[in-house]
Amino acid sequence: VTSYFIRCDISESDFKEPEVEFHKSPITSSDWRRSIHLRSAYRNDSIDRLNRELNQTPPIAEEHRFYMLSENDRAVALNYRRILDKWIEIGTSPKRRGENIGEIQDEILGELRNSMAELFKDTQFILAGLGSPNTHKVFEFDKGTNHGLSYENLSSGEKAALDMLLDIVVFKEEFNDTVFCIDEPEAHIHTKLQGPLLGELYKLIPDNSQLWIATHSIGMVRKAQDLWQKSKDAVVFLDFGKDDFDKPVKLKPTHPDSDFWGRVYEVALGDLAELVLTERTAFCEGRGVDSECYQNIFKSRYPNLRFVPLEDKGNVIKTVKASNLALGKIAKSAMVIGIIDLDGETSEGVKRRREEGIRTLSRRTIESFLLDDEVLAKVCEDFSQPDKVNDLLTAKQGALSKHNLKPDDNLKAIVQTVHGAAQKALKSVRLGDSKESFMMDILAPRIQPGMAVYEQLHEDIFG
């Protein structure tokens, strides 16, 4: 499909059937029905209906759940029935006699179970089995130490995720050359899980099919960016923010430049930007340890400052550009900056980045600041053992020599060694059970105003 939307004048559009072009035109009526599968934004199915209406299901290509996108889209009961039908079909087949029941359940539920487990890995939410409609137990779930939960015990978000994932798993076998369309897939889903949910939906879609979504979710926008970066020919964006739809418009895929992302974030953030970004937000590299270290260093001086981890440098640069573009319109009092490691950047490159709102550390990484001699001395002083500082400095110097490093280099490789030396020297002190907790909870809080290392880091970020 090359033209995604064409708006005609009213005089031309009366009683005009929509025209849709496919790369390969469907032949039969069933082919046409399987060409597009729609989910409205009003997706819910009550436990009463699940227990009441598990009767004969229509052929999957003849199912009509709704006729307008404003209508309720109830899918779980029908899809659960189809799963049960498949279970009965396999279980009663003479060819499958003697097979292990657990293996059959894995065959039927494995793909759905894996997607649910990946999405809810933090809460250990597992699809354990089919359950039994005769005992009013639709599916069976484990969550942490709770076992044997049913559909009715799930939260709204868990039900919403199950609904969308189950629907694709059930339909994809027959709808394998299809445009799957979901309106607002983020509805009822925790913001933390919205991006990962898009990732799971994307993985389930057959290779010969497409997934179209309409979303206002920042998490899903970010995930779409990541997918686009990995495969720019497989992901496209439609921009509804720059055209006047009261006039004839031909809408085509847009290149996601900084202006595009600015409009996207403006819509997604809206008035919340003033609340979320009250003073300053600093996006930084790393998965969370770095941001927590920055937070612990500067929280007393900047209590309203939030450090947000974005993993790699590219994400930091891209997000800062787009966010500042949007905030210029919707939250002029807020400011977004990015913090990136020095790595091998030139002095000219550092200056260019600074003009874009990106602050570059004057040392290779934050570990170079955390393992500064002044900080290690402060640790010993705070725990009333100043005579142990030479033990830590000697261990640090030995690790530097072993790895052929200088004090301002990337010192990630020697954090573990210094942590071990500190545990040995300060035996009565709890210094964290990992190098990460040592960095976040012990070293970072020791970088304080008045210390040379603090002033240098402060100048890098806020100067």
User: Is 60 exceeded by the pLDDT of residue 10?
Assistant: no
Which of 9-23, 213-227, 302-316 is predicted least confidently?
Answer: 9-23
Helix H or strand E segment including 459: helix 452-462
Answer left, alpha or beta for residue 118, where phi above 0 means left and psi between -120 and 50 means alpha: alpha
Q: Any alpha helices (H) in 153-217, and if so which ranges?
A: 156-171, 191-204
Please tell me the predicted confidence (pLDDT) of residue 334. Answer: 62
124 three-state secondary structure:
coil
Average pLDDT of the chain to the nearest whole number: 83
Edge-first strand order for the sheet with 179-183 is: 36-39, 179-183, 210-214
Contacts 24+ apart (CB under 8 A), 416-424: 418/371, 418/376, 418/392, 420/395, 421/391, 421/392, 421/394, 421/395, 421/396, 422/376, 422/379, 422/392, 424/391
User: Is 60 exceeded by the pLDDT of residue 273?
Assistant: no
pTM, two decimals, is: 0.60
Question: Domains in the chain, ordered, with CATH?
Answer: 5-256 (3.40.50.300), 259-360 (3.40.50), 366-462 (no CATH)
Each residue's pLDDT tens digit, 51-69: 555 566 777 877 777 778 7
Each residue's pLDDT tens digit, 208-257: 899 999 998 888 888 888 898 888 889 999 888 778 888 888 888 888 76
How much is the average pLDDT of 275-283? Answer: 64
User: Is 90 exceeded by the pLDDT of residue 163?
Assistant: yes
CB burial string 306-318: b at 16+ within 10 A, e below: bbbbbeebebbbb
How much is the average pLDDT of 409-437? Answer: 86
Give the tokens for residue 339.
């913090």
